[in-house]
């Protein structure tokens, strides 16, 4: 340090400063690149989960609509059964086996109800009416059950690693 006219003057070795700063620049660029890559990964992951959620909601809505028709009309028609199959066909890829089995159970209940309703002039009318009532009861409370079963697949939160 030099003293000139009462002021302290620092002499800085600028070559040394430039070498240090340029040595720090490479790790800083590497860190910034890694940070941007991590942010892109998170964005892509969230985007994938959002698309998956939308497809799952479609299956849930189709299930609830099918249940509502079975309860509201007291019957499901062949067109309703076909529509249900069409709108839930991706469930094997979107959900676990529990949902796939549940959807199959609902479909089988719908086929049973449709078959019972379609039977004309049964030999024992009282037994037939009881069978229809039992087939209809297969849909009782299923809307809440569907929400409960699908709920664990609908959360848009990050899974624990």
DSSP result, 19-62: HHHHHHHHHHHHHHHHHHHHHHHHHHHHHHHHHHHHHHHHHHHH
> Which residues are bridge partners to 2 per DSSP?
9
Residue 69 near residue 112 (C-beta atoms within 8 A) = no
User: Which residues have a Cβ under 8 Å from the Cβ of 53 and sit 6 or more positions away?
Assistant: 154, 156
Which of 138 and 96 is assigned the larger pLDDT?
96
- Residue 161 binned pLDDT confidence (cut-offs 50, 70, 90): very low
73-82, 122-131, 134-143: range with highest mean pLDDT: 73-82
Which of 123 and 69 is assigned the larger pLDDT?
69
Percent of the chain scored above 90 by pLDDT?
Answer: 54
pLDDT at position 34 over 90:
yes
User: Per the structure block, which two tokens stand in for 52?
Assistant: 């998956």
| pLDDT for residue 122 | 72
Closest by Cα among 41, 48, 72, 40 to 143: 72
Q: What are the φ/ψ torsions at residue 4 (nearest 5 degrees)?
A: -135, 120
User: Per the structure block, which two tokens stand in for 105?
Assistant: 């159970």
| pLDDT for residue 160 | 44
3-class DSSP state of 145 = helix
Residue 103 near residue 74 (C-beta atoms within 8 A) = no
Q: Report the chain's mean pLDDT, rounded to a whole number.
A: 87
pLDDT mean over 106-113: 93
Q: For 95, which DSSP code?
A: S
* Interval 42-56: pLDDT, tens: 999 989 989 999 999
- Residue 154 binned pLDDT confidence (cut-offs 50, 70, 90): confident
User: Per the structure block, which two tokens stand in for 122?
Assistant: 């049964």
**Beta-strand (E) ranges in 5-144?**
7-9
What's this model's pTM, rounded to 2 decimal places? 0.72
pLDDT at position 12 over 80:
no
* Interval 65-76: pLDDT, tens: 999 999 988 889
Q: Which range (48-57, 92-101, 148-157) has the least confidence?
A: 148-157
């Amino acid at each position: 340090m030099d003293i000139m006219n009462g002021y302290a003057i620092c002499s800085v070795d600028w070559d040394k400063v430039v070498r240090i700063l340029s040595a720090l620049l490479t790790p800083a660029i590497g860190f910034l690149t890694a940070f941007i890559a991590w942010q892109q990964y998170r964005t892509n992951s969230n985007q994938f989960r959002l698309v998956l959620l939308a497809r799952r909601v479609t299956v849930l809505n189709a299930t609830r609509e099918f249940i509502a028709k079975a309860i509201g009309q007291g019957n499901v028609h062949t067109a309703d059964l076909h529509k249900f199959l069409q709108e839930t066909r991706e469930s094997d890829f979107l959900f676990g086996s529990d949902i796939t089995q549940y959807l199959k159970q609902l479909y089988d209940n719908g086929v049973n109800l449709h078959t019972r309703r379609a039977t004309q002039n049964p030999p024992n009318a009282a037994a037939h009416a009881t069978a229809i009532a039992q087939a209809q009861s297969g849909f009782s409370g299923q809307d809440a059950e569907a929400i409960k079963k699908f709920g664990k697949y609908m959360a848009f939160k990050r899974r624990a690693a």
